[in-house]
Amino acid sequence: MLKSLDWSEKEGVELLDIPPLAVLCASMKLILKIINAIQSII
């Protein structure tokens, strides 16, 4: 799990060169965090 997070973080840094993709990447990360939080509660 940590390895995949590190990979996505590196990808996110590369995508920061293009604002729209950076925003999309940040949104996806936020959505995934929310989903994980909901799953941990249930």
CA 1 centroid distance within chain: 13
The per-residue pLDDT for range 1-42, each reduced to its tens digit, is 445 555 555 555 555 556 777 788 889 999 999 999 999 987
Token pair belonging to 19:
């604002």
pTM for the structure as a whole: 0.47
Could you give the angle at which helices 2-15 and 19-41 cross, rounded to 10 degrees? 160
Measure the CA–CA gap between 8 and 3, rounded to whole angstroms: 9
Asked if 10 and 25 count as a contact pair (C-beta separation under 8 A), the reply is: no
3-state helix, strand, coil in the chain (%, to 5): 90, 0, 10
**In which residue are the tokens 């941990």 written?**
40
